[in-house]
Amino acid sequence: MDSDQFREFGKAMVDYIADYLDNIRNRKVLPSVNPGYLQPTIPQEAPQTGENWKSIMEDIERVIMPGVTHWHSPNFHAYCPTANSYPGIVGEMLSAGIGCVGFSWMSSPACTELEVAMMNWLGKLIGLPEEFLNCSNGSGGGIIQGSASESTFIALLTAKERMVRNIKNVHPQLDEGLIKAKLVAYTSDQANSSVEKAGMLGSMPMRLLPTDQNGCLRKETLEEAISNDKNAGLIPCYVVATLGTTGTCAFDNLEELGPVCRREKLWLHIDAAYAGSAFVCPEYRYLMRGVEYADSFDFNPHKWMMVNSDCSAMWVRNSRHLVEAFNVDRIYLQHEHEGVAPDYRHWQISLGRRFRALKLWFVLRSYGVEGIQKHIRSQIELAHYFEKLVKDDSRFEFACSSMGLVCFRMKAGDRLTQTLVDKLTQRKNIYVIPCYFQGNYVVRFVVCSRLTEIRDIDYGWREICEVASEILNGYITGKPNGELVSLLTVSNRSKRRENCIEQ
């Protein structure tokens, strides 16, 4: 392919992507395929001779799109958002075009220096303490990782090496392997699965501590777990606090947990993967009070800040601990400017890294602070609108809400709530997933797509109401029981019909 063909192919693809996003509402959010669907649609071996790009374009709809879950559909309300914007896409194009591998300053100075600048912009934007920034007088700084999962794992490994080093400094006779075998970590039972996985990969037991009625990890619970482990001869090492849990977007109390970690000399990592973007709005920064106690902090601009994946922003109070944990040097990696600017290979697991700061730069400049704030606030308002719909309908019970997430259930109980989720998934018009809140099975409804408007919330609510009516009417006519009959009186059914938005 020469440059002329590339221009044609690239322009055709830009048009295809724009058309795809412009018309994404016309596609069912979930695909109707089974595992293995793709294999019969393509040859069993790679072609011997190259094909024209137009043939490749023709196969996108035939081969790829039937198996795509449309995460950017306004009808996608599962998991958390995955960010997307045209400036972010163009930034990815330029990153791919330059194609550098920015493992050190010398390997591509612009790659390192723009990342340093963007992590300063971003840290100031969400109100991080200055000591976490690259522009501070201390040794703090930020780096773009691939995911919050990576950041949690990297922080665990760093905490592990720091703890072993500190103990060996005091007790040099102790065996390093014995010390590592006694290390333990802590998080809440509401933390993301990646936190528990980090403990598995890092060979450090991760205690999943119970939370209060709001899903928050509290001081007393952490202190009790630490005390029990110390009495058992173990060594507490690492704590992960969550700002915006996956299930219900609950916030751990940093002002309580932070002093405990500081007193016990435990590494405190803060996982704010989804909700961290909201801190661009000053009115939500009260939720990060106590962040000054953290050793590391991470959130994902690729979740809610319109920066395409992957782009996970991680800051550390003292980058020296990262370098000490991950520094493996070779003569072919050395250069004359070492120590003047970060060599990010010492801040991550992999050696190679892409020019991810470009898309962050493009998005921040294209939208500005005001544009990003408007996006966050408008999605939270849409969630408030959906919350009111739930509360006004007597068939449903509101469970909790936070940021762009609303959790609710059918008053008829867990079994019918699960049936609701199952039937909605089968219909494929909207996509929601469940979780447990205070022992109850609830539905999570998240405002995910940047394209979501109030009409999409209305559409989703009509879909939920229609399926709920089918379920409840089926139980009334087919399997009456005392609990359901008492709940579904004629007057209540009339009220519910009035509350459902007309088709």
Q: Across residues 84-101, what is the average pLDDT?
A: 92
Q: Across residues 102-112, what is the average pLDDT?
A: 81
| pLDDT value for 494 | 34
| pLDDT value for 336 | 60
CA dist., res. 468 & res. 410, Å (int): 8
Residue 503: pLDDT band by 50, 70, 90 thresholds? very low
Pairing of strands 267-271, 235-242: parallel
CA dist., res. 136 & res. 262, Å (int): 21
Print the SS3 string covering 367-405: HHHHHHHHHHHHHHHHHHHHHHHHHCCCCEEEEEEECCE
Q: Across residues 306-316, what is the average pLDDT?
A: 94
Residue 453: pLDDT band by 50, 70, 90 thresholds? very high
pLDDT, tens digit (0-9, with 9 covering 90-100), for 367-378: 999 999 999 999
Q: Across residues 396-413, what is the average pLDDT?
A: 95
Please determine, for residue 429, whether its predicted confidence score (pLDDT) is greater than 90. Answer: yes
- For the record, the structure tokens of 389 come out as 């719909």
pLDDT, tens digit (0-9, with 9 covering 90-100), for 161-217: 999 999 999 999 999 999 999 999 999 999 999 999 999 999 999 999 999 999 999
Please determine, for residue 496, whether its predicted confidence score (pLDDT) is greater than 80. Answer: no
pLDDT, tens digit (0-9, with 9 covering 90-100), for 120-177: 999 999 999 999 998 777 789 999 999 999 999 999 999 999 999 999 999 999 999 9
| pLDDT value for 477 | 60
- Which is nearest to 123 in space by CA: 296, 339, 375? 296
Please report, for residues 7, 19, 91, 274, 358, the alpha-carbon distance to residue 362 in angstroms, rounded to integers and kept in the order given: 22, 22, 6, 21, 6
Q: Across residues 415-444, what is the average pLDDT?
A: 95
Residue 319: pLDDT band by 50, 70, 90 thresholds? confident
344 or 282, which is more confident: 282
Query: Beta partners for 251?
Result: 243
Domain coordinates of the chain in residue numbers?
Answer: 100-354
Please determine, for residue 460, whether its predicted confidence score (pLDDT) is greater than 90. Answer: yes
Please determine, for residue 333, whether its predicted confidence score (pLDDT) is greater than 90. Answer: no
Burial of 479 (0-12, 13-18, 19+ CB in 10 A): exposed
| pLDDT value for 91 | 95
Please determine, for residue 484, whether its predicted confidence score (pLDDT) is greater than 80. Answer: no
Contact in structure between 239 and 186 (CB atoms under 8 Å)? yes
Residue 485: pLDDT band by 50, 70, 90 thresholds? very low
Q: Which residue has the tokens 């139980």?
A: 475
Q: Across residues 218-237, what is the average pLDDT?
A: 97
CA dist., res. 259 & res. 462, Å (int): 48
| pLDDT value for 479 | 53
Please determine, for residue 291, whether its predicted confidence score (pLDDT) is greater than 80. Answer: yes
| pLDDT value for 178 | 93
CA dist., res. 20 & res. 84, Å (int): 13
Please determine, for residue 335, whether its predicted confidence score (pLDDT) is greater than 70. Answer: no
If you average pLDDT over every residue of the chain, what do you get?
A: 90
Residue 338: pLDDT band by 50, 70, 90 thresholds? low
Q: What's domain 100-354's architecture?
A: 3-Layer(aba) Sandwich (3.40)
Please determine, for residue 497, whether its predicted confidence score (pLDDT) is greater than 70. Answer: no
216 or 109, which is more confident: 216
**Identity of the residue numbered 114:** L
Please determine, for residue 501, whether its predicted confidence score (pLDDT) is greater than 50. Answer: no
Q: Across residues 352-364, what is the average pLDDT?
A: 93
Residue 25: pLDDT band by 50, 70, 90 thresholds? very high
Query: Beta partners for 235?
Result: 183
Q: What DSSP letter does each residue of 312-352 carry, written as one string? A: EEEEES-HHHHHHHH----GGG--TTBTTB--GGGGSSSS-
| pLDDT value for 222 | 97
pLDDT above 90 covers what percent of the chain?
81
CA dist., res. 389 & res. 500, Å (int): 8
pLDDT, tens digit (0-9, with 9 covering 90-100), for 240-260: 999 999 999 999 999 999 999
Q: Across residues 60-68, what is the average pLDDT?
A: 96
